[in-house]
Amino acid sequence: MSESTVLVLGSDPPPKLDRLAGRARVIYADETSLAGLLPTADVLLAWDFTSDAIREAWPESGPRPRWVHTASAGVDRLLCPALIADDTLVTNARGVFEQPIAEYVAGLVIAMAKDFYGTWELQRQRRWQHRETLRVAGTRAVVVGSGPIGRAIGTTLTALGVKVDLVGRRARADDPEFGLVHPSEALNGLLPEADWVVCAAPLTEATRGLFGKEAFALMPSRARFVNIGRGQLVVEKDLVEALRGWRIAAAALDVFEQEPLTADSPLWDVPHLIVSPHMSGDTLGWRDALAEQFQDNFDEWAAGRPLRNLVDKRLGYVPVQ
Amino acid sequence: MSESTVLVLGSDPPPKLDRLAGRARVIYADETSLAGLLPTADVLLAWDFTSDAIREAWPESGPRPRWVHTASAGVDRLLCPALIADDTLVTNARGVFEQPIAEYVAGLVIAMAKDFYGTWELQRQRRWQHRETLRVAGTRAVVVGSGPIGRAIGTTLTALGVKVDLVGRRARADDPEFGLVHPSEALNGLLPEADWVVCAAPLTEATRGLFGKEAFALMPSRARFVNIGRGQLVVEKDLVEALRGWRIAAAALDVFEQEPLTADSPLWDVPHLIVSPHMSGDTLGWRDALAEQFQDNFDEWAAGRPLRNLVDKRLGYVPVQ
């Protein structure tokens, strides 16, 4: 096999790609230079996965990469009709973020149950004020998204004694991990019983705005909502209204319609809303793990073997086997 | 059996003891009236378990209750030489607090690993600042205390993928839950490897001041310390010094040498110290659960059957079977 050209979008910081030395020419693009360089590349690594540039620059015709790997779980930022239609393979970072995100969500659930946020505010005020809090074991969670991240969240909450209903696109009656996976049509029937609603769905045309006025109206007033998927899965103004109107008890958002949040965003100080800067999956060493994963997949590519974490471009995610 | 007299210390709020109606005369004492009423009672319920009055009022001789039940896990507030020496039975609230406390500790561990406190401070400042945080799975915890609370904490952390070393008074090689339980002499050898050190020991003469200068010096600088046992297990000034000197990374205290903390306590604003008002085990309904548990044990007492949760007064806790 002749030397491949690997085009990397983003270099702040650059990935460690030592293992490609002598096997691939690595060139870097930014959002401006991407369109001009795409026709020269065999492989595109979407290292900066927060950019919309790939979707915007993807050629309608002519030479283009035969493989695109994104250093993220979601592929919503890069998929466009031309990329979906052609035969370019798309792979993602499945395997890197699941466990950290599951821990993060479990921590949020406990923090909300035990009112850590109230405790910290009282500490600031130097006030000793005992309260009774919630037991996590025995509560019910609806986890939306039956991919690896939703599954890891479901498994971790189950280990804490939470009864978990996992919701996917389609029903599965004999799921090896959860037994039953509910279909998306069942969601509205599950929401009224939920203590916790966790959004871990991929962003697709079917899921955009999934959590809006109607969903929040179906949740009980004790419900607490967590989104670690993509900001566009939630209609932020409807969530804010639900919180301000005490329609639901609390929420935590790690992802937003527009990122980063600017200092004047109204979301920073909505009552009972926890805001974090899209970091739920990012543990120390995550960038190295992403670079290793890409290089492992490059080994498959170079050997002519099937790629791992192949995205079904029409579905918009890697189907669970 | 003739009608018993049940003396209750504390009535704010009073316990719901409906099931004693017609079977026992229930009278209430406060700290002042306790000494005068003790000789008239068959059973003493230490409903206010934060008082030292029992220890101070316990008679050296003459009539006294034959059974003392405390609405707490720890019995350190009531044991005194005369009570240890006589044949009065002592029982505790084992079974009520374990799961809530284990959840609380797991939440603190994740909150510290994921820097929830930093995130919340940045939210107050309306600042979007991405950070890399810690993965919980694969870290190591030393849990000191092999009673039901320490065990529940160990089990919950294990479910999160943490490698747990449980430390009890004596070694056990074939523990049904943990396999190995380390003896107290092994603690100093375990501390240097710990990411998390959790104190869930009973307060006895052997454990008072267990976590002081020497213990903090043995912990690695990444270690985070949690105390949900009793305040006197920790030498607070040594902990403050360890935190101010960056000797260890962070700590969370739910219990204190003096409770409640007054507004002028220096503990409220030590860097990287989380302060909560002795509430880790107190979930909604906890008081009703405590009253039910006492009444269940009263049924045993009235029937002449062995009491549950019998404290070994010399050890200062209920031995694990």
Strand-strand pairing, A172-175 and A179-181: antiparallel
Q: Does B263 touch chain A (CB under 8 A)?
A: yes
- DSSP 3-state of A245: coil
Measure the CA dihedral A304/A308/A309/A311, to 10°. Answer: 20
Across the interface, of B113, B123, B268, the residue whose CB is closest to A268 is: B123
Give the closest-approach CA distance of B250 to chain A in angstroms: 15
Cα gap A26→A8, rounded to integer Å: 7
Q: What is the pLDDT of residues A25-84, one digit of tens each?
A: 999 999 999 999 999 999 999 999 989 999 999 999 999 999 999 999 999 999 999 999
What CATH architecture is A2-93+283-301? 3-Layer(aba) Sandwich (3.40)
| B161 phi and psi angles, rounded to 5 deg | 90, 10
Question: Is B268–A126 a contact, with Cβ atoms under 8 angstroms apart?
Answer: yes
Measure the CA dihedral B236/B239/B245/B246, to 10°. Answer: -150
Question: Is A106–B160 a contact, with Cβ atoms under 8 angstroms apart?
Answer: yes
Q: Give the Å distances, CA to CA, from B45 to A31, A48, A217.
A: 72, 64, 46
Catalytic residues of B: 230, 259, 278
Cα gap A25→A41, rounded to integer Å: 9
* Chain B residues near residue A117 by CB distance under 8 angstroms: 120
Give the closest-approach CA distance of B152 to chain A in angstroms: 11
Q: Are B78 and B228 in contact (CB under 8 A)?
A: no
Catalytic residues of A: 230, 259, 278
- pLDDT score at B198: 98
| ipTM of this predicted structure | 0.93
- pLDDT score at A320: 78
Size of interface A-B (CB pairs under 8 A): 154
Q: What is the pLDDT of residues A147-192, one digit of tens each?
A: 999 999 999 999 999 999 999 999 999 999 999 999 999 999 999 9
pTM: predicted TM-score of the whole model, two decimal places:
0.94
Across the interface, of B156, B261, B284, the residue whose CB is closest to A134 is: B284
Largest CA distance in chain A: 70
Cα gap B251→B236, rounded to integer Å: 11
Do A2-93+283-301 and A96-273 come out as alike in CATH topology? yes
Question: Is A103–B126 a contact, with Cβ atoms under 8 angstroms apart?
Answer: no
Q: Are B108 and B274 in contact (CB under 8 A)?
A: yes
- pLDDT band of A125, cuts 50, 70, 90: very high
- pLDDT score at B320: 78
Domain boundaries, chain B: 2-93+283-301, 96-273
Query: What residues of chain B, 195 to 214, have a C-beta less than 8 Å from chain A?
Result: none
Q: Based on the number of CB atoms within 10 Å of its own CB, is B40 exposed (0-12), middle (13-18) or buried (19 or more)?
A: middle
Rg for chain A, CA atoms, rounded: 21
Q: Are B257 and B235 in contact (CB under 8 A)?
A: no
* pLDDT tens digit at each of 321 positions of chain B: 568 999 999 999 999 999 999 999 999 999 999 999 999 999 999 999 989 999 999 999 999 999 999 999 999 999 999 999 999 999 999 999 999 999 999 999 999 999 999 999 999 999 999 999 999 999 999 999 999 999 999 999 999 999 999 999 999 999 999 999 999 999 999 999 999 999 999 999 999 999 999 999 999 999 999 999 999 999 999 999 999 999 999 999 999 999 999 999 999 999 999 999 999 999 999 999 999 999 999 999 999 999 999 999 999 999 976
Alpha helices for A114-235 (secondary structure H):
116-124, 148-159, 187-190, 213-218
Q: Based on the number of CB atoms within 10 Å of its own CB, is B2 exposed (0-12), middle (13-18) or buried (19 or more)?
A: exposed
Q: Name, in order, each residue with C-beta under 8 angstroms of A68's C-beta and a sequence gap of 6 or more.
A: A43, A44, A45, A46, A54, A78, A83, A88, A89, A90, A91
H or E element in which residue A181 lies: strand A179-181
Q: Which of A117, A123, A129, A265 to mutate to test the interface with B (most CBs of B within 10 A)?
A: A123
CATH number given to B96-273: 3.40.50.720
Nearest to A239, CA basis, from A204, A262, A219, A211: A211
- pLDDT score at A321: 63
Q: At what angle do helices A148-159 and B148-159 cross, to 10 degrees?
A: 170
Q: Are B45 and B7 in contact (CB under 8 A)?
A: yes
Place of tokens 């603190």: B108
Question: Is A135–B275 a contact, with Cβ atoms under 8 angstroms apart?
Answer: no
